[in-house]
Structure 1
Amino acid sequence: MSSARPRYLIGIDNGSQSSKVTVFGTDGRVVSEGRAALRPYDTPRPGVVEHPDDDLWTSIGAASRAALAAFDGDPADIVGVGLCTIRFCRAVLKADGTLAQPVMSWMDERVGLPYRETDPEAARVTTSSGYIGHRMTGEFRDTAANYAGMWPLDPDTWQWSDDDAKIAKLGLRRELLFDLVLPGDVLGEVTEEAARHTGIPAGLPVVATANDKAVEALGCGLRSPDTLLVSLGTYVAGMATGPRNVADPRDFWVNYAAEPHAYLYESGGVRRGMWTVSWYRDLLGEEASARARAAGLDVEDYLGAEAAKVPPGSEGLMTVLDWLAPGEAPFRKGTMLGFDGRHGRFHVYRSILEALAMTVHETTERMARELGTSHREVVVSGGGSRSDLMMRIQADVHGLPARRAAASSAAGLGAAICAAVGVGVYADFEEAAARMVRAGEVFHPDPDNHALYRRLEAVHRDVRERTDALYRRTYDLFG
């Protein structure tokens, strides 16, 4: 290939709500993209949350075909594919690599327990990335960096444990496990069958990445321990990067980064975080949609513009975001308190955004204290970062400059960065990130607003102590 010809990279981002496939230039700019929504989860019984049928592979195929249909370059100039999928899923495969049962969601209680072999056809147990990687390449190879959780992975070596008893304790056998590679390693090549399904040219190298949060962090340019990433997704949390595996942390947990033998430190977070924002938007229904259309805005922009007129602190209206109770406190419910005659629908909307920011600020402050670090800026990624109001709230609550991630799909860009390293477009992750990640708009904190939020946070963190006893009583009535 002539050096004068352009080169392109594909980033696959299979998230919790949709699959996004993006074609990037080697400068990190988006050339074309496609998206396909995931179907609603199947919940056939309590504790079981599954992706219906073959939904992950189906949605990736639809998103890929859309991205390639919109690509006006020469497919021969696409040089690699980076694969990123949802973390904490579990896939049980037959010997031919097809699903023995539906893929378990990260919300399925079984993924937090040792594997139980219930299907006589089960021949492999893997992650969502292992399953999709096999569909793409035909290989039983997976990234080590997506095996946080109930897996017999040595967190220091990133290899399977050499202790058969430990493997057995997790309900597994060595022959059930995939071969491991590191982020930036080639998993295999796109098969003819996968090419027909996705539209991606057969023979392209498919490169391993990591879990979706780690790949998102890479696509946001998270390279320094003094930068905090706030990821606004279905799960909202704060992340920082570091070089060591911290044993038994109290106020955070250690995740594998999308670069070999690097780590992410992740704070406690909000389950159904941005889901709650969407939930409230949908509750407002057609009236809000009609008002948005009349203003020439989409619904989120309309709600954000109106909520921006509400004073910081929402005039005392507070939200505690337990719309999905944690496993250790199944009785908890979401709480909104402090209503009086001043409050309307936009107070509620702003209060939800403030709750997301205050919850993450509290948990990331605890994480920073334990690590002995401090943060000089916040990078905000995910769909919620498109909201100027959300960005201002993040800056004011953290008391730090808040920078919007420039990439529309940070995980997709992170996957493309891994692909760029894997196929030799760039020599290493440092060079690839420097060339492909661009800075977004920066929002600076208002000192008065920050002072107000610090006082409000002191109240907000005490709410659960007051409401837990009440919710224990209602849990007996309603579950």
Structure 2
Amino acid sequence: MGVALVIDCGTQSLRALLFDKKGKLLDKEKVEFEPYFSLKPGWAEQNVNVYWEALCKATKTLKYRNQKLFEKLLGVSVTTQRDTVVVVDEAGKPLRPAILWLDQRKAKNVVSLKFKDKLLFSVVRMKETVERIYKKTRANWLKENEPEIWRKVHKYLLLSGYLIYKLTGEYVDSKASQIGHIPFDYKKQNWPENDKSFRWRVFGVKREMLPKLAEPCTEIGQIGRKISEETGIPEGTPVILSGSDKGCETLGTGCVDEKCASLSFGTTATVQTTSARYFEPILFMPPYPAVYPGYYNPEIEIFRGYWLISWFKKEFGFIEIEKSKKVGIPAEVLLDHLLDEVPAGSHGLILHPMWTPGLDMPNARGAIIGFSDVHTRAHIYRAIIEGINYALRDGLERIEKKGKVKVKRLTVSGGGSQSDKICQITANMFNLPVCKVQTHETSGLGAAICVFTGRKYYASIEEAVKEMVRYVKVYEPNPEEVRVYERLYYEVYKKVYSSLKRIYVKIKEVTQCEGD
């Protein structure tokens, strides 16, 4: 029969998941940990051993409950958070804590580009963006601030590559995991062939410091005896590549063509589709490599998107959080009653969710406008949901315009997708049907699809998706609410940034705070 084991390592927890050939989640074990620690304001680091120890604990606990299932393992795959960097020495030992995708430290120097590169980026008005990318690249910061550590770096890895190295002893990673501040050629889905490419200068990493890359669904090693003893995963179990958590979510919701868009209601909220064509939703913002081999995921990110929900729960949702712990129901579901108390449009309360600015809006900040004495915590909560969806809809329209495509349906993943009310609001705001699959663990399901495809249980990704992904609920748009959201989106939300841009610039000028 065969069973797939998936390791899904996020920012706040690691989950070990068992899936069968029909995409049924048989069991899971979750190990939570502190997301990060900060030695200085804006820093976000994590001791690398935290991830490995969580993996070993999760897999061993899962095996204890499922001895017979572990005897049927077809393979194991790893999917992780994106853009989290681990540097190791020649012995494969971490030289310092991992630097997370949330980290806001910056290098001080400015990238040294050739004249033709400077001219090109100036012409397309992206010179400032390229400089921001250089400064936010971890390698450039390490060279400036920790040169003694940088001299010892043997391999510069994303978290996915590090965990795969721990499992197999090989420095290999999936092409579909290469998302972050690294010199990756997204169009060719590989490291740049030309040693003179501007990417090497912008991202500051040498070719020999990077892992080998392979296609998703590829077997790249097996679990050895020592690792079997540490993890409980049977010796000889094949390790199959999958991809990033967002990419696996998209695959796990069955979003494998341009007629479908995947919404991820995570700490970073995203909208992405799957395309055989390369096109950039934002100039110089490439589509990411899809877990579907050879395909792309054009994507727009809303940085700290559903982080706003976490902020709201912390500041205003104490009752729901405590009840969630007692009854085992997600706080997002318990907060649904607040959404029922407020009509579409939140009585004019509009949120612009740019708590962290995007690449094409470097001066943006978050804003909540339209406050009056009628507004309550319920209004704020609904305005957050609506504001994130407005931003995601704007992102979807960019993808459709640049790709010359028309999306016909949406799929949802992440914490917010567990709420029926949030899914219905989403359908109303996009005026599109929203589809929910059989499991909340969609990134794990996407990685499991890679295991069954890589082990030739299914002949292709398409066959595996057909057999393993099922839509158990579809939310259809409500015409009455659609009309309200259409007007607010075009007549209000789309004008917020242009109306406040000068004020954002002045805030930055006066406070000397860039806000990102």
Q: Does residue 350 in structure 1 map to residue 382 in structure 2?
A: yes
Q: Does residue 300 in structure 1 map to residue 332 in structure 2?
A: yes
2:186, 2:286 within 8 Å by CA — same for their partners in 1?
no
Q: Which residues in structure 2 correspond to 1:393-412 (within 5 Å)?
A: 393-412=425-444
CA RMSD of aligned residues (A): 2.6
2:165, 2:171 within 8 Å by CA — same for their partners in 1?
yes
Shift of 1:20: 1.6
2:332, 2:418 within 8 Å by CA — same for their partners in 1?
no
Shift of 1:122: 1.1
Deviations 1:256-288 (A, max 9, x none): 000221111112x32111121121012125445
Shift of 1:437: 1.1
Residue range with higher mean Cα deviation, 104-113 or 420-429 = 104-113
Question: Structure 1 residues 252 and 328 mapped into 2: Cα distance closer, same or farther (>3 Å)?
Answer: closer
Deviations 1:47-102 (A, max 9, x none): 54222342222222233233323325342111101111112222211112121122
Q: Could you say which residue in structure 2 is the equivalent of 1:146?
A: 177
One-letter amino acid of the counterpart of residue 63, structure 1: A
Q: Does residue 159 in structure 1 map to residue 170 in structure 2?
A: no
Residue range with higher mean Cα deviation, 409-418 or 298-307 = 298-307
Aligned partner (choices 44, 55, 58) of residue 60 of structure 1: 55
Q: Percent identity?
A: 28
1:35, 1:62 within 8 Å by CA — same for their partners in 2?
no
Deviations 1:354-381 (A, max 9, x none): 1111110112112101211111111111
Deviations 1:382-422 (A, max 9, x none): 11111011101110001011111322211111111111112
Q: Could you say which residue in structure 2 is the equivalent of 1:217?
A: 250
Distance between the aligned counterparts of 2:62 and 2:325, measured in 1?
28
1:8, 1:23 within 8 Å by CA — same for their partners in 2?
yes
Q: Does residue 466 in structure 1 map to residue 469 in structure 2?
A: no
Question: Structure 1 residues 308 and 395 mapped into 2: Cα distance closer, same or farther (>3 Å)?
Answer: same
One-letter amino acid of the counterpart of residue 61, structure 1: C
SS in 2 for 1:391: helix
Q: Could you say which residue in structure 1 is the equivalent of 2:408?
A: 376
Q: Which residues in structure 2 correspond to 1:179-258 (within 5 Å)?
A: 179-246=212-279, 249-250=282-283, 253-258=286-291
Distance between the aligned counterparts of 1:395 and 1:131, measured in 2?
39
Q: Could you say which residue in structure 1 is the equivalent of 2:119?
A: none
Q: Which residues in structure 2 correspond to 1:53-452 (within 5 Å)?
A: 53-71=48-66, 73-109=68-104, 112-113=136-137, 115-116=139-140, 117=143, 118=147, 119=149, 120-166=151-197, 168-169=200-201, 170-246=203-279, 249-250=282-283, 253-267=286-300, 269-289=301-321, 299-326=331-358, 332-452=364-484
2:304, 2:356 within 8 Å by CA — same for their partners in 1?
yes
Distance between the aligned counterparts of 2:47 and 2:326, measured in 1?
38
Residue range with higher mean Cα deviation, 287-296 or 258-267 = 287-296
Distance between the aligned counterparts of 1:306 and 1:386, measured in 2?
15
Distance between the aligned counterparts of 2:359 and 2:41, measured in 1?
13
SS in 1 for 2:14: strand
Question: Structure 1 residues 193 and 372 mapped into 2: Cα distance closer, same or farther (>3 Å)?
Answer: same
Question: Structure 1 residues 72 and 29 mapped into 2: Cα distance closer, same or farther (>3 Å)?
Answer: farther
Shift of 1:154: 3.6
Q: Does residue 31 in structure 1 map to residue 26 in structure 2?
A: yes
One-letter amino acid of the counterpart of residue 380, structure 2: V
2:274, 2:298 within 8 Å by CA — same for their partners in 1?
yes
One-letter amino acid of the counterpart of residue 14, structure 1: C
Distance between the aligned counterparts of 1:327 and 1:227, measured in 2?
25
Distance between the aligned counterparts of 1:189 and 1:308, measured in 2?
51
Question: Structure 1 residues 196 and 327 mapped into 2: Cα distance closer, same or farther (>3 Å)?
Answer: farther
With the length of structure 1 as denominator, give the TM-score of the two structures. Answer: 0.91
One-letter amino acid of the counterpart of residue 158, structure 1: Q
Distance between the aligned counterparts of 2:324 and 2:169, measured in 1?
47
Gap runs ≥5 in structure 2: 107-132
Residue range with higher mean Cα deviation, 309-318 or 191-200 = 191-200
Deviations 1:436-460 (A, max 9, x none): 1111310100112111101111202
1:220, 1:407 within 8 Å by CA — same for their partners in 2?
no
Distance between the aligned counterparts of 1:478 and 1:315, measured in 2?
35
Shift of 1:316: 0.8
